[in-house]
Amino acid sequence: MPNTVTKAIFPVAGLGTRFLPATKSVPKEIMTLVDRPLVQYAIDEARAAGIEEFIFVTSRGKSALEDYFDHSPILEQELLRKGRTDLLDALKQTDMESGQIAYIRQHKPMGLGHAVWCARQLIADEPFAVILPDDVIAAEKPCLQQMIEAYEETGGNMVAAMEVPHEKTSSYGVLDAAEDRGSVVSIKDMVEKPKADEAPSNLAVIGRYILSPSVMQNLHEMKEDTGGEIQLTDAIAEDIAAGGNAFGYLFRGQRFDCGSKAGFLQATVAFGLARDDLRDDLMNYLAEMVQANRAAQ
Ligand code: UTP
């Protein structure tokens, strides 16, 4: 049977505390890089990889996200009346066929693993992708598409991975991987947020996964950790311990941690500079700012 993946889970039920007070009323995933919210980048990447069903795990206060993928008849009529076909085209990115997108509530923020488990009844017995929209990856070939192509050869579980400085491992799930550093590495174990001196490597898991149904089954049986959360990393590690295959995929592309303020600002600049209509003004402005700041120091 070919390893096809047609469903993706987007866990977006976190509290987004690093962006308070903004995230008190604006979901993090609706914050924009230039003129597109984070969630649009995630959906585009999933579509490019052949995903057909989009499952959002949401929480209280995320209705702006549901509205974003809804039709907006008054706005559309007004744009039509004004002949703004350019803007009507821009709106088309947000079109979803009825039934293609589902929203499930995570009632308490009990961790990423728990959020993924909330979607269990829509996944049934098939492999599925997980995309964290706050990890934005700029790449010629979208990251999930790269991974699905590799996964068609390997099967098993696959996580996106990248090398991080050793002192940063405590912010990530970290791979205990075979030495060979091709683009696909075989994983022996995974550890959630290890201290730098205990980390098995500097290969960190980034927010893209392709998972087998047995990982969902593990989540079903898991207990909360001491922090009261259920970790996705632990469910994958358990699958490996039970003899399942897992692979780290070292993607080609640049990842921005848009869940952090610094990462979000860097992404804003990078995506602004990538736009023909903004590049020159932005570059001049940045050069002036850098010069003025240096002079003031
Ligand atoms: P983060 O660790 O970035 O947490 O979650 P967060 O709540 O979004 O942000 P901070 O740390 O408070 O600023 C990584 C991803 O997992 C989802 C988040 O929405 C985000 O996409 N998540 C996390 C859930 O869906 N549920 C949870 O219980 C925890």
- Count CA atoms closer than 13 A to 250's CA, side-chain side: 15
**Is 293 contained in some domain?**
no
Ligand 1 site, residue 13, Cβ cutoff 6 A = yes
- Residue 32 contacts residue 81 (beta carbons within 8 Å): no
pLDDT at position 178, please? 79
Q: What are phi and psi of 63, to 5 degrees?
A: -65, -25
Q: How far is the CA of 38 from the centre of ligand 1 (A)?
A: 14
Q: Decide the pairing of beta strands 246-250 and 7-11.
A: unpaired
Ligand 1 site, residue 131, Cβ cutoff 6 A = no
A 10 A CB-CB count for 142 gives: 21
Q: Whose CA is nearest to atom 1 of ligand 1?
A: 14
Roughly what angle, to the nearest 10 degrees, separates helices 261-273 and 279-296? 130
Measure the CA–CA gap between 11 and 112, rounded to whole angstroms: 7
**Is 81 contained in some domain?**
yes
Residue with tokens 């990538």: 274
pLDDT at position 1, please? 46
Ligand 1 site, residue 8, Cβ cutoff 6 A = no
Ligand 1 site, residue 109, Cβ cutoff 6 A = yes
- Count CA atoms closer than 13 A to 105's CA, side-chain side: 7
Q: How far is the CA of 112 from the centre of ligand 1 (A)?
A: 7
pLDDT at position 221, please? 85
pTM of the model: 0.94
**Is 83 contained in some domain?**
yes
Ligand 1 site, residue 15, Cβ cutoff 6 A = yes
Query: Which one, of 265, 288, 293, 297, lies nearest residue 34 by Cα?
Result: 265
Q: How far is the CA of 182 from the centre of ligand 1 (A)?
A: 30
Q: Which residues contact 260 (CB under 8 A, 6 or more apart)?
A: 18
Measure the CA–CA gap between 208 and 142, rounded to whole angstroms: 11
pLDDT in tens, 172-226: 999 998 766 689 999 999 998 999 889 999 999 999 999 999 999 999 888 766 6
Ligand 1 site, residue 106, Cβ cutoff 6 A = yes
- Residue 271 contacts residue 137 (beta carbons within 8 Å): no
- Residue 65 contacts residue 29 (beta carbons within 8 Å): yes
Counting the structural domains of the chain, the total is 1
Q: Whose CA is nearest to atom 7 of ligand 1?
A: 14
The CATH number given to whatever domain includes residue 214 is 3.90.550.10
**Is 19 contained in some domain?**
yes
Ligand 1 site, residue 115, Cβ cutoff 6 A = yes
Q: Which residues contact 271 (CB under 8 A, 6 or more apart)?
A: 33, 34, 138
Measure the CA–CA gap between 241 and 263, rounded to whole angstroms: 34
Domain that holds residue 63: 7-259
Query: Which one, of 174, 252, 243, 250, lies nearest residue 214 by Cα?
Result: 243
Q: How far is the CA of 167 from the centre of ligand 1 (A)?
A: 22
Q: Is 167 helix (H, G, I), strand (E, B) or coil?
A: helix
Measure the CA–CA gap between 137 and 19, rounded to whole angstroms: 20
pLDDT at position 207, please? 97
Ligand 1 site, residue 211, Cβ cutoff 6 A = no
Q: Is 206 helix (H, G, I), strand (E, B) or coil?
A: strand
Give the position, in ligand 1's atom list, of the atom nearest the Cα of 19. 13
**Is 278 contained in some domain?**
no
Give the position, in ligand 1's atom list, of the atom nearest the Cα of 134. 21
Low-confidence ranges of the chain (pLDDT < 70): 1-3, 179-181, 224-226
Report residue 50 as tokens: 């052949």
Ligand 1 site, residue 11, Cβ cutoff 6 A = yes
Measure the CA–CA gap between 52 and 261, rounded to whole angstroms: 32
Q: Which of 132, 192, 261 to mutate to test the pocket of ligand 1 (most atoms within 8 A of CB)?
A: 132
**Is 201 contained in some domain?**
yes
Measure the CA–CA gap between 235 and 246, rounded to whole angstroms: 12
Report residue 54 as tokens: 């989009």
**Is 135 contained in some domain?**
yes
Ligand 1 site, residue 136, Cβ cutoff 6 A = no
pLDDT at position 10, please? 98
Q: How far is the CA of 66 from the centre of ligand 1 (A)?
A: 18
Query: Which one, of 57, 206, 48, lies nearest residue 136 by Cα?
Result: 206
**Is 1 contained in some domain?**
no
Q: How far is the CA of 110 from the centre of ligand 1 (A)?
A: 9
